[in-house]
């Protein structure tokens, strides 16, 4: 594969995506397997929204230590409290623990504020009942199932069921990968993260639809007598949309990267961080999967159809393997047979 | 063709500018959510199964309480089986949380005196009477308050006289207002609470009346009170508001009472509801209570704004670098969408009290990518056509159809996900879905009515036959391949 940025910029790239697709798919499958194993072995670090309990965020003065706050927490009747000092911007202490009848959210606030030598009004709190998390998770699960069914229907109507299947495989791949990252690094999962996962699904689908749309468009413009195999068709289409995929990924990742780097590292807004990590990972993996997972899956399925199998056989007889440039030429010729030919340049007057 | 492009372009710009100017001159700004300005967010769930009617009544009660605290932009919504209460910017956070979670209790208090809350002289007299009454009834408990030097002829204001919610105890003498706020009541301690009521219903018998029946224990208690207050008024008090103050016209009710007065249908039904559900208090569990300090909220907001601006600048720079003149079009599209979005968010805040939450703001940041993608899909199509040998101007006009069809199908997927999430989830996820949906719709409109005509105009006027201005390098040879 001749990899050249300049060729990409000029749209002269002709890479054989599908030629390597089986190996790439196998690689992706292994990575997803690792992620799934990680999710089961290491488990997920669920936030209090899912497990219940309390979190207190207290402004951190330099002379106060995490031990001071831990003592204050146990004073207030909490058993095991986890105290973290979060730096970046203005430092804060993050105290997380169980709520008990003795340690109500209010009594803990005053104890912690006293220990941290700050005003109680500056303490932010979160108290969640254990049953709440089940409900949040239940609702998210239900929404997810309805969403997947609707999307499958939508893609089937708009394209065909094989493409719907390819898109859903890609989405599953993205979610497994991203959740796997959260399991491996034990990042905390909150409703904010769930939002990010959902965004990733949306993005991945969006990307995949752009690719499929191009394949369908090219397929329609093929004339009945053109000799082209489905992988060739897919390859040409992928080469056509790759620059759009790359550019869209870059312009989508830039704001999220800025949210992560500027927002949470320099300014210490931890609530933004939760979103940003998942989004960043998901956006990149979403672009990858629409090119390297969704399309190859569809190509595998479509090549089995009798029409395409026939095409592949005759291409094999003619010794035409891996001829993307030829395929692009066939496609261009077919397209211009049907629509009006491009105007000669001299007709365009300068203004 | 060309004319319609120009008209559409001008209309969009005028629309965006006018809505932004309108919103700014009206002084509307987006209402910031709890996480962005500090405040209280509470999610409540009824402890037992309750009917829709009870649920609505409970929400009504909560709304009244929140109004009593005086929050600028409260947002109280029922989401499925939960009530989500957002009080951005509320001052005394702990008190707000306590007040919201309380169980409603209906109280019957004999009326000692009625007064006009707008008459300063009556207010002063009431205040004096209240202080004496408290001395007499409660003794020295409130000595700190009463030993303060009193200037006899100072004009008491209404807020001095009225009993604040946290001192509204069953056993205390209180001064409260009626539902309309026009009448003040000085009320004795409550002998009977709403637990005595079994059923209450509004019926029409020549006039609207409310039939009340008491349970066995309640009938005895109520008769005792009736005997003590025969011929006098007894106030029905819920949440510090006198809902009604009927006169007791019998000494024995035997478990049945009729409240009559000059009710209209709505008033009678409302009173019946108060008696029934105030009497059977809905108990709420606090699923999620979040208080955010003002400093933390401001910090998040500042970080979000700075990060958003930096991100936008980076995206703009990249687009300019890659697509040259078309990059400029993309930046103009973003600016137009931004103006429309700001107007909508401010309008939603002003008219619906809908706050821009942290999740919503994230949805917007994410939508920058979607918006820019619409530009990129179109531009890549143009470049492809030009590479095939088509003139820039005809490529710009000719490739929009295919590009826009891609944009619609992709945006439709976003809209489906926004719709499903909005319908089926609550809280954070819901806020995100709302803004994702809004921005996607804006993207579709701006792509069609603004981006397309502007690109075509730019291609005609400014690019001509120099594709280098679109970031198409070394195309002198024309057809490649």
Domain co-membership, B112 together with B96:
no
Terminal CA-CA length for chain B: 33
- Residue A39 near residue A180 (C-beta atoms within 8 A): yes
Q: Do A351 and B299 touch (CB under 8 A)?
A: no
CB-based contact, B405 to chain A, within 8 Å = yes
Picking from A126, A201, A348, the nearest residue to B417 by CB comes out as A201
Picking from A89, A209, A351, the nearest residue to B413 by CB comes out as A209
Domain co-membership, A150 together with A241:
yes
Is residue A338 domain-resident?
A: no
Is residue A351 domain-resident?
A: no
What gap in Å lies between CA B46 and CA B80, rounded to an integer? 11
Domain co-membership, A164 together with A193:
yes
Residue ending a domain, choose from A63, A97, A128: A128
Q: At A71, which CATH number?
A: 3.30.70.120
B474: left (phi over 0), alpha (psi -120 to 50) or beta: left
Domain co-membership, B312 together with B448:
yes
Question: How many beta carbons lie within 10 A of that of residue A194, not counting itself?
Answer: 25
The answer to whether residue A347 scores a pLDDT higher than 90 is no
Between positions 331 and 370 of B, the ones with CB within 8 A of A are 358-359, 362-363, 365-366, 368-370
Is residue A165 domain-resident?
A: yes
Q: Do B369 and A251 touch (CB under 8 A)?
A: yes
Domain co-membership, B65 together with B126:
no
* Between A103 and A293, residue with greater pLDDT: A293
What gap in Å lies between CA B378 and CA B369, rounded to an integer? 14
- Cβ neighbors of A84 (< 8 A, separation 6 or more) are A66, A93, A94, A95, A96
ipTM: 0.80
- Comparing A179-183, A196-200, B463-467, the range with the smallest average pLDDT is B463-467
Domain co-membership, A304 together with A237:
yes
Question: How many beta carbons lie within 10 A of that of residue A329, not counting itself?
Answer: 13
Domain co-membership, B264 together with B298:
no
- Cβ neighbors of A104 (< 8 A, separation 6 or more) are none
- Cβ neighbors of B317 (< 8 A, separation 6 or more) are none
Question: How many beta carbons lie within 10 A of that of residue A172, not counting itself?
Answer: 16
Residue B22 binned pLDDT confidence (cut-offs 50, 70, 90): very high
Residue B429: closest CA among chain A residues belongs to which residue?
A195
- Cβ neighbors of A211 (< 8 A, separation 6 or more) are A237, A238, A241, A245, A290, A291, A294, A295
Residue A104 binned pLDDT confidence (cut-offs 50, 70, 90): low
Domain co-membership, B338 together with B266:
no
- Comparing A7-11, A101-105, B305-309, B449-453, the range with the smallest average pLDDT is A101-105
Q: What is the DSSP-derived secondary structure letter of residue A351?
A: -
Is residue B197 domain-resident?
A: yes
How many domains does one find in chain A?
A: 2
Question: How many beta carbons lie within 10 A of that of residue B140, not counting itself?
Answer: 9
**Parallel, antiparallel, or unpaired: how do β-strands A45-46 and A188-189 relate?**
parallel
Segments forming the whole domain that contains residue B328: 2-27+293-470
Residue ending a domain, choose from B279, B313, B338: B279
How many domains does one find in chain B?
A: 3
Is residue A341 domain-resident?
A: no
Strand partners, B238: B106, B241
Domain co-membership, A37 together with A178:
yes
Is residue B286 domain-resident?
A: no
- Residue A166 near residue A297 (C-beta atoms within 8 A): yes
Domain co-membership, B263 together with B360:
no
The answer to whether residue B17 scores a pLDDT higher than 90 is yes
Our CA-based measurement puts residue B81 at a distance from the nearest CA of chain A, in whole angstroms, of: 10
The answer to whether residue B475 scores a pLDDT higher than 80 is no
**Of B421, B372, B79, which is closest to residue A199 (Cα–Cα)?**
B421
The answer to whether residue A176 scores a pLDDT higher than 60 is yes
Domain co-membership, B302 together with B430:
yes
The answer to whether residue A273 scores a pLDDT higher than 80 is no
Domain co-membership, B91 together with B188:
no
- Within 8 A of A347 by CB-CB distance, chain B residues are 391
- Comparing A36-40, A187-191, B189-193, B280-284, the range with the smallest average pLDDT is B280-284
Residue B357: closest CA among chain A residues belongs to which residue?
A192
Domain co-membership, A61 together with A30:
no
- Within 8 A of A90 by CB-CB distance, chain B residues are 295, 299
Between positions 215 and 234 of B, the ones with CB within 8 A of A are none
Our CA-based measurement puts residue B290 at a distance from the nearest CA of chain A, in whole angstroms, of: 4
- Cβ neighbors of B18 (< 8 A, separation 6 or more) are none
Domain co-membership, A151 together with A80:
no
CB-based contact, A128 to chain B, within 8 Å = yes
Q: Please give, one letter per residue, the 3-state secondary structure of B428-480.
A: HHHHHHHHHHHHHHHHHHHHHHHHHHHHHHHHHHHHCCCHHHHCCCCCCCCCC
Is residue B476 domain-resident?
A: no
SS3 of residue B253 by DSSP: coil
Terminal CA-CA length for chain A: 42
Our CA-based measurement puts residue A191 at a distance from the nearest CA of chain B, in whole angstroms, of: 7
Q: At B453, which CATH number?
A: 1.20.1640.10
CB-based contact, A122 to chain B, within 8 Å = yes
Is residue B34 domain-resident?
A: no
* Between B343 and B214, residue with greater pLDDT: B343
- Residue A216 near residue A166 (C-beta atoms within 8 A): no
Segments forming the whole domain that contains residue A313: 11-46+132-326
- Within 8 A of B291 by CB-CB distance, chain A residues are 123-126
What gap in Å lies between CA B243 and CA B119, rounded to an integer? 22
The answer to whether residue B476 scores a pLDDT higher than 50 is no
What gap in Å lies between CA B167 and CA A91, rounded to an integer? 39
Is residue B479 domain-resident?
A: no
Between positions 153 and 212 of A, the ones with CB within 8 A of B are 154, 158, 191-192, 194-195, 198-199, 201-203, 205-206, 209-210
pLDDT for position A267: 64
pLDDT for position B137: 44
Domain co-membership, B302 together with B403:
yes
- Residue B417 near residue A201 (C-beta atoms within 8 A): yes
Our CA-based measurement puts residue B337 at a distance from the nearest CA of chain A, in whole angstroms, of: 16
Task: Express each pLDDT in A298-321 by its tens digit.
Answer: 998 988 888 888 888 877 665 554
Task: Express each pLDDT in B120-163 by its tens digit.
Answer: 778 888 777 777 765 444 434 443 444 444 444 455 677 777 77
- Residue A195 near residue B432 (C-beta atoms within 8 A): yes
Q: At A219, which CATH number?
A: 1.20.1640.10
Is residue A5 domain-resident?
A: no
Q: Do A191 and B429 touch (CB under 8 A)?
A: yes
Helix axes A161-185, A191-221, angle to 10 degrees: 150
Residue ending a domain, choose from A111, A128, A145: A128
Q: Do B473 and A10 touch (CB under 8 A)?
A: yes
Domain co-membership, A136 together with A123:
no
The answer to whether residue A37 scores a pLDDT higher than 80 is yes
Where does B250-371 show beta strands of DSSP type E? 256-263, 284-292
- Within 8 A of B372 by CB-CB distance, chain A residues are 248, 251-252
Is residue B361 domain-resident?
A: yes
Residue ending a domain, choose from A71, A98, A128: A128
Task: Express each pLDDT in A48-97 by its tens digit.
Answer: 878 788 888 888 887 888 888 888 887 777 777 788 887 766 778 888 88
Domain co-membership, B230 together with B307:
no
Among B381, B403, B417, pick the best mutation site for testing chain A contact (most A Cβ within 10 A): B417
Domain co-membership, B165 together with B78:
no
Please tell me which of B137-146, B328-337, B370-379 the model is most confident about, judged by mean pLDDT: B328-337
Question: Could you write out the DSSP letters of every residue in B141-180?
Answer: TTHHHHTS---TTPPPPHHHHSPPGGG--TTS-EEEEETT
Query: B408 burial class (0-12, 13-18, 19+ CB within 10 angstroms)?
Result: middle
Domain co-membership, A212 together with A305:
yes
Between positions 129 and 148 of A, the ones with CB within 8 A of B are 129, 131-132, 135-136, 139-140, 142-143, 146-147
Domain co-membership, B299 together with B347:
yes
Q: At B96, which CATH number?
A: 3.30.70.3400
Is residue A161 domain-resident?
A: yes
Domain co-membership, A29 together with A156:
yes
What gap in Å lies between CA B370 and CA B283, rounded to an integer? 45
CA of A275: how far to CAs of B23, B263, B275, B362, in Å?
A: 30, 55, 47, 8
Residue B477 binned pLDDT confidence (cut-offs 50, 70, 90): very low
- Comparing B104-108, B396-400, B411-415, the range with the smallest average pLDDT is B104-108
Residue ending a domain, choose from B62, B79, B103: B103
Domain co-membership, A197 together with A249:
yes
Is residue B475 domain-resident?
A: no
Is residue A187 domain-resident?
A: yes
pLDDT for position A318: 57
- Comparing A324-338, B175-189, B238-252, the range with the smallest average pLDDT is A324-338
The answer to whether residue A340 scores a pLDDT higher than 70 is no
pLDDT for position A161: 92
Domain co-membership, A120 together with A137:
no
CA of B174: how far to CAs of B88, B170, B239, in Å?
A: 30, 9, 12
- Residue A270 near residue A264 (C-beta atoms within 8 A): yes
Is residue A69 domain-resident?
A: yes
Please tell me which of A22-26, B69-73, B284-288 the model is most confident about, judged by mean pLDDT: A22-26
Picking from B300, B369, B409, the nearest residue to A255 by CB comes out as B369
Domain co-membership, A256 together with A170:
yes
The answer to whether residue A344 scores a pLDDT higher than 70 is no
- Residue B341 near residue B455 (C-beta atoms within 8 A): no
- Within 8 A of B315 by CB-CB distance, chain A residues are 251, 254-255
Average pLDDT over residues A269-292: 82
Q: Do B373 and A206 touch (CB under 8 A)?
A: yes
Q: At B191, which CATH number?
A: 3.30.1360.200
Give the rounded percent of residues in chain B with a pLDDT score beyond 70.
88
């Amino acid at each position: 594969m001749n990899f050249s940025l300049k060729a990409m910029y000029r749209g002269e790239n002709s890479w054989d995506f599908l030629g390597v697709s089986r190996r790439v798919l196998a690689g992706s499958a292994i990575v997803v397997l690792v992620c799934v194993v990680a999710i089961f072995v290491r488990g997920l670090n669920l936030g209090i929204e899912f497990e219940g309990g309390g979190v207190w965020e207290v402004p951190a003065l330099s002379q106060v230590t995490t031990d001071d706050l831990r003592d204050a927490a146990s004073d207030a009747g909490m058993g095991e409290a986890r105290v973290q000092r979060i730096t970046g911007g203005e430092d804060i202490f993050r105290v997380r623990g169980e709520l008990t009848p003795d340690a109500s959210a209010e009594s803990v606030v005053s104890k912690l504020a006293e220990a941290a030598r700050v005003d109680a009004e500056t303490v932010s709190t979160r108290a969640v009942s254990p049953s709440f998390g089940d409900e949040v998770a239940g609702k998210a699960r239900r929404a997810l199932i309805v969403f997947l069914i609707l999307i499958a229907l939508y893609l089937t109507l708009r394209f065909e069921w094989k493409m719907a299947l390819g898109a859903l495989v890609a989405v599953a791949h993205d979610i497994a990968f991203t959740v796997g990252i959260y399991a491996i690094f034990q990042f905390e999962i909150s409703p904010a993260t769930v939002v990010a996962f959902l965004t990733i699904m949306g993005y991945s689908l969006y990307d995949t639809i752009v690719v499929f749309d191009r394949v369908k468009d090219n397929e329609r413009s093929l004339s009945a007598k053109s000799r082209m195999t489905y992988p060739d068709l897919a390859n040409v289409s992928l080469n056509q949309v790759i620059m759009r995929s790359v550019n869209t990924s870059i312009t989508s990742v830039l704001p999220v990267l800025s949210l992560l780097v500027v927002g949470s590292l320099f300014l210490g807004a931890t609530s933004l961080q939760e979103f940003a990590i998942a989004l960043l990972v998901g956006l990149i993996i979403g672009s990858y999967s629409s090119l390297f997972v969704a399309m190859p899956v569809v190509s595998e399925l479509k090549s089995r159809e009798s029409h395409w199998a026939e095409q592949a056989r005759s291409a094999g007889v003619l010794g035409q393997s891996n001829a993307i440039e030829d395929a692009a030429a066939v496609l261009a010729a077919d397209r211009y047979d049907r629509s009006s030919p491009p105007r000669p340049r001299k007709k365009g007057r300068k203004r | 063709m060309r004319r319609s492009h120009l008209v559409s372009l001008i209309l969009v710009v005028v629309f965006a500018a006018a809505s932004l100017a309108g919103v700014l001159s009206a002084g509307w700004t987006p209402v910031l959510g709890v996480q962005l300005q500090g405040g209280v967010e509470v999610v409540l769930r009824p402890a037992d199964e309750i009917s829709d009617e009870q649920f609505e009544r409970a929400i009504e009660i909560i709304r009244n309480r929140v109004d009593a605290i005086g929050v600028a932009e409260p947002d109280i919504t029922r989401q499925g089986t939960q009530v989500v209460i957002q009080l951005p910017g509320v001052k005394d956070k702990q008190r707000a949380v306590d007040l919201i979670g309380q169980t409603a209790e209906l109280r019957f208090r004999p009326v000692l005196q009625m007064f006009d809350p707008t008459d300063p002289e009556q207010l002063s007299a009431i205040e004096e009477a209240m202080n004496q009454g408290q001395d007499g009834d409660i003794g020295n408990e409130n000595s700190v308050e009463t030993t303060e030097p009193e200037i006899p002829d100072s004009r008491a204001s209404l807020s001095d006289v009225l009993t604040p919610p946290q001192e509204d105890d069953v056993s205390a003498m209180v001064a409260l207002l009626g539902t309309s706020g026009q009448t003040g009541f000085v009320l004795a301690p409550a002998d009977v609470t709403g637990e005595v009521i079994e059923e209450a219903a509004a019926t029409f018998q020549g006039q609207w009346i409310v039939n009340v029946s008491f349970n066995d224990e309640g009938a005895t208690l109520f008769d005792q009170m009736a005997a003590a207050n025969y011929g006098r008024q007894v106030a029905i008090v819920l949440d510090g508001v006198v809902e009604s103050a009927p006169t007791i016209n019998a000494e024995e009710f035997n478990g049945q009472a009729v409240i009559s007065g000059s009710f209209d249908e709505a008033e009678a039904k409302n009173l019946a509801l108060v008696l029934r559900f105030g009497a059977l208090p809905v108990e709420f569990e606090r699923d999620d209570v979040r208080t955010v300090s003002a400093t933390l909220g401001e910090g998040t907001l500042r970080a979000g704004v700075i990060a958003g601006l930096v991100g936008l600048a980076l995206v703009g720079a990249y687009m300019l670098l890659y697509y040259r003149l078309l990059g400029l079009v993309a930046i103009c599209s973003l600016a137009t969408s931004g103006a429309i979005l700001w107007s909508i968010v401010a309008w939603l805040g002003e008219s619906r009290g809908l706050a821009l939450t942290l999740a919503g703001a994230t949805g917007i940041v994410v939508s920058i990518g979607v918006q820019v993608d619409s530009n990129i899909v179109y531009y890549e199509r143009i470049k492809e056509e030009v590479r095939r040998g088509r003139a820039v101007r005809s490529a710009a006009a000719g490739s929009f159809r295919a590009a826009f069809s891609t944009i619609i199908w992709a945006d439709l997927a976003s809209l489906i996900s926004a719709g499903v999430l909005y319908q089926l989830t609550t809280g954070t996820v819901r806020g995100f879905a709302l803004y994702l949906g809004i921005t996607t719709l804006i993207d579709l409109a701006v792509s069609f009515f603004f981006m397309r005509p502007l690109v075509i105009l730019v291609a005609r006027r400014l690019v001509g036959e120099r594709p280098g201005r679109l970031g198409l390098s070394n195309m002198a040879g024309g057809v490649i391949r």
